Amino acid sequence: MRSPKIHKNDGSESRKARGRPRGWVDNTAQNTIKSLERAMEVFEFLSEGPGSPLTQLASDLNQSPATVYRTLVTLEKRGLVEFDHVAQLWHIGPRAFVIGARFIRRTNLVERARPIMRKLMEATGETANLGIQQEGSVLFLSQVETQASIRAFFPPGTLSPMHASGIGKALLAHMDDVRLEKLLRSEDFEQFTDHSITDPVALKTHLIEIRSKGYSVDNEEKNTGMRCIAAPVFDFNGEAIAGISVSGPTSRIEPARLEQLIAPVISAARELSLAIGGNGSARTD
């Protein structure tokens, strides 16, 4: 076990903790370590496939076999890649998962989402929301409010029925078939407005369409006069674990403008998916 470092400050030292050297000039061309950059290129490329022989890797990366081999052996010593002697293939190694898991543990969904939500609010002029599924409802975790005088307000901790929520429907659309069928059979969907979808068959058809499009719309389904556009956020398993949305009054989010808000919402959801270690899309199995 490491002993804690004792830092003595007798007044002779006034240096601040630094993340970069003193006098740092952020010049990418000069500061990049070329050999490390090539090694990471090999590592990332190898992680995308089921395994590759040396000659194929070298050809695909346009590097010499000798250079690629030295890189692989170095990464192998760290457990980041491994070699299958029977098949003569190189694969991503177990250490890569360990490091990735550490990143996932460090990742905080709300913390990662805040700058993305702020950017989304500024791009659309509407309130941005973040929500997850919690015991059959949408739990709103965070919100970045627009400065407009009339705006949607879902303070953190607010619960909303999934069938009448943009985020809720985006999550339901990516729920596995067994869970969804059970929910459709057991839930008594409340009619909040004339636009609420309460029939299980109609709701399932609607969810299939949402999954195909990649976004959902709450068209005054919970509150008359309010619209919401939402898209799912995927984790590293390709599972929809959250949703990002923008919401506002129908007087501003008219049908014509609704189309303009779809792309920024989908883009924000994808950006957050990547920020938490996902690839931005649902799993295909």
| Residue 21 pLDDT > 60 | no
Instruction: Decide if 267 is inside a domain.
Output: yes
Based on the domain organization, do 125 and 237 belong to the same domain?
yes
Based on the domain organization, do 147 and 205 belong to the same domain?
yes
Instruction: Decide if 12 is inside a domain.
Output: no
Average pLDDT, the chain: 85
Please write the tens of the pLDDT for every residue from 97-132: 888 767 656 568 889 999 999 999 999 999 999 999
pLDDT number for residue 103: 64
Cα distances (angstroms) measured from residue 137 to each of 81, 192, 263, 265? 42, 15, 26, 21
Note the helical H segments in 22-137.
28-31, 34-47, 54-61, 65-77, 94-106, 109-124
Task: Decide if 260 contacts 123 (C-beta within 8 A).
Answer: no
Please write the tens of the pLDDT for every residue from 239-259: 999 999 999 999 999 988 888
pLDDT number for residue 31: 59
Instruction: Decide if 210 is inside a domain.
Output: yes
Query: Coil, strand, or helix at residue 284?
Result: coil
Give 27 or 154, the one with higher predicted confidence.
154
pLDDT band at 266 (very low <50, low <70, confident <90, very high): very high
Task: Decide if 280 contacts 272 (C-beta within 8 A).
Answer: no
pLDDT number for residue 55: 93
Per DSSP bridges, beta strands 159-161 and 216-219 are unpaired
Based on the domain organization, do 116 and 195 belong to the same domain?
yes
Instruction: Decide if 268 is inside a domain.
Output: yes
pLDDT number for residue 35: 86
Instruction: Decide if 11 is inside a domain.
Output: no
Q: Which residues contact 236 (CB under 8 A, 6 or more apart)?
A: 100, 104, 276, 277, 278, 279
Based on the domain organization, do 71 and 154 belong to the same domain?
no
Mean pLDDT of 81-99: 90
Whichever domain contains 237, its CATH number is 3.30.450.40
Based on the domain organization, do 156 and 177 belong to the same domain?
yes
The tally of domains found in the chain comes to: 2
pLDDT band at 229 (very low <50, low <70, confident <90, very high): very high
Based on the domain organization, do 82 and 207 belong to the same domain?
no
Instruction: Decide if 8 is inside a domain.
Output: no
pLDDT number for residue 86: 93
Give 123 or 277, the one with higher predicted confidence.
123
pLDDT band at 285 (very low <50, low <70, confident <90, very high): low
Q: Quote the pTM value.
A: 0.67
pLDDT number for residue 1: 40
| Residue 182 pLDDT > 80 | yes
Instruction: Decide if 10 is inside a domain.
Output: no
What is the DSSP code (8-state) at residue 125? S
Based on the domain organization, do 85 and 206 belong to the same domain?
no
Show the domain range for 112.
107-275
Based on the domain organization, do 145 and 216 belong to the same domain?
yes
pLDDT number for residue 135: 76
Residue finishing a domain among 81, 101, 121:
101
pLDDT number for residue 29: 57
Based on the domain organization, do 82 and 205 belong to the same domain?
no
Mean pLDDT of 171-193: 91
Mean pLDDT of 223-251: 93
Residue finishing a domain among 38, 66, 101:
101
Please write the tens of the pLDDT for every residue from 128-171: 999 999 878 899 989 999 887 776 777 777 889 999 999 999 99
Whichever domain contains 69, its CATH number is 1.10.10.10
pLDDT number for residue 242: 95
Q: Which residue has the tokens 């740092």?
A: 24
Instruction: Decide if 20 is inside a domain.
Output: no
Based on the domain organization, do 114 and 68 belong to the same domain?
no
Based on the domain organization, do 48 and 172 belong to the same domain?
no
Based on the domain organization, do 113 and 166 belong to the same domain?
yes
Residue finishing a domain among 101, 125, 149:
101
pLDDT number for residue 255: 87
